[in-house]
Chain A
């Protein structure tokens, strides 16, 4: 069993995870945009 963490520590860890998930979305938007540009150029 891991030691209990305080609410504040959990919130900071959670914020880190939340920001990571937001980064995944930002990267996905970038990738989708590049693919869309290429596809539109080819079609």
Chain B
């Protein structure tokens, strides 16, 4: 096969769109800068100003490139997405690095990547004394990533870039015919949830936890961004366990459910089409997998004997299974306790993490639609074998309408699912090579690759550099569901070896 070397025109087009995204992130970065200025946190303010300045320079450089307002091609768009998701955490890690809470630039990049990909694993030191404006920036990264940073930019500057960038960020369901309208609907859903979510968390924070009102608003806002965007960061090092409140955990659970739901499902509910929700293959699949992993976790925890009363068992197993399946990563217990669960409970949580939430949601993992389609494919294969020779199995499924299960779709579903499994195993292999147990290494790798954030204790500031880099790559690949990253690799190879 002859590789076509990318032209200068390709590079200009990519630089132009990267510049546009940089401007949008600069505007987002101005929010924590303003926060720092108002709160008198001058050191973070200076670092945010530096970050915003770098984004603005990149934006200006991109805009200065001559651009003929052409549509982005498929591969160009994918390269823009893959590079955006490297560029934003790289520049976005500047304030984190300058905060003094990270050992080296890689640690700061790890947290920024974890934030943007809505993973939630963290190597920060002394989180409990981090300036509020920096904490806000960490959680805002969740929000930007959950929205789809390029998609967020798209809704501000509609153009010929829509479709390819939309698919590049792992979204495959357009709610409206126009991508811009879809992006705006996603914004509307997020803002409405922001209002109700922060109000709920603030109320519960004041009444049930006993936080002061202003502090309750701060915690409500942070936990909202981490919960609705299925991220998993929290303002305190003990995650949601800090609040010691079942009511607060229930409130965060509502946001985790909302985050794991596809925006298509939000739209169906938004329009009052409740019957359609339960007809969808994806809804049925996630209800089934959630039920199975929940039972596994309950049985596992019960046999361990750690939670011998029914309330403690229900609370811990439900919260952690939901946190894992939605890809959020909130926890109410230390990672050492999660590592000690072992057996069925550990397996139930790990499987829930690997499967993930719904497609076109803020959650990671293989995704319920792919699991449902894989099971359907296997069932159809068995039925085909059992039928008489001329019998034909009708291959279709219901997902916001009757759809055909074409061979191309089946191939794509199987390929991405297998890539996820391979990624989980490779990450686990690196962990094992560093002397961690198979169980812990697999758990941590799945957590990184599925963008969850629960930890069995491997992720900490002293972790080996190669393992840390592996988890960064897993977070990036998992979030973009491989395609955009492969397109970037293809682009680089073509640039080197193409003719």
Contact = CB atoms under 8 A, between A and B. Distances in A.
Interface stretch (B142-150, B158-166, B311-319, B424-432): B311-319
Give chain B's interface secondary structure class: helix
A40 B322 contact: no
A39 to B, nearest CB: 5
B272 A16 contact: yes
B294 interface: yes
B189 interface: yes
A43 B302 CA distance: 7
B310 A25 contact: no
Contacts of A1: 176-178, 181
Given A10-B192, A14-B189, A20-B269, A36 B254 contact: no
A25 B319 CA distance: 10
Contacts of B21: none
Contacts of B254: 18, 21-22, 25
Interface string A1-36: 110000000110111111011101100110111011
Contact of B313 (A13, A17, A28, A40): A40
Contacts of A24: 257
B269 A43 contact: no
Contact of B298 (A16, A18, A36): A36
Contacts of B189: 14, 17
B314 A32 contact: yes
B33 interface: no
Interface in B176-204: 176-178, 181, 188-189, 192-193, 195-197
B310 A16 contact: no
Contacts of B294: 28, 31-32, 35
A18 B257 contact: no
Contacts of A39: 298-299, 302, 313
Contacts of B302: 36, 39-40, 43
Interface residues of A, number: 26
B253 interface: yes
Interface residues of B, number: 38
A28 B298 contact: no
Interface in B287-323: 290-291, 294-295, 298-299, 302-303, 308, 310, 313-314, 317-318, 322
B29 to A, nearest CB: 28
B157 interface: no
Interface in B107-130: none
A26 B271 CA distance: 22
* From A17, A36, A39, A43, residue with most partner B Cβ within 10 Å: A36
B161 to A, nearest CB: 19
B191 to A, nearest CB: 9
B250 interface: yes
Nearest to B188: A10
A11 B192 contact: yes
* From B176, B181, B314, residue with most partner A Cβ within 10 Å: B314
B184 to A, nearest CB: 10
A1 B177 CA distance: 7
B353 to A, nearest CB: 17
Nearest to A42: B302
Contacts of A16: 269-270, 272
B240 to A, nearest CB: 14
A29 B249 CA distance: 11
A41 to B, nearest CB: 9
Nearest to B250: A25
Given A1-B176, A1-B178, A18 B193 contact: yes
Contact of A28 (B176, B178, B274, B318): B318
Given A22-B254, A35-B298, A37-B310, A28 B269 contact: no
Nearest to B294: A32
Contact of B270 (A13, A29, A40, A43): A13
Nearest to B177: A1
Interface in B231-256: 250, 253-254
A36 B261 contact: no
A15 B227 CA distance: 17
A21 B188 CA distance: 17
Contact of B196 (A2, A15, A43): A15
* Ranked 3 nearest A-B pairs via Cβ: A14-B192, A32-B318, A36-B313
Interface of B: 176-178, 181, 188-189, 192-193, 195-197, 250, 253-254, 257-258, 261, 266, 269-272, 274, 290-291, 294-295, 298-299, 302-303, 308, 310, 313-314, 317-318, 322
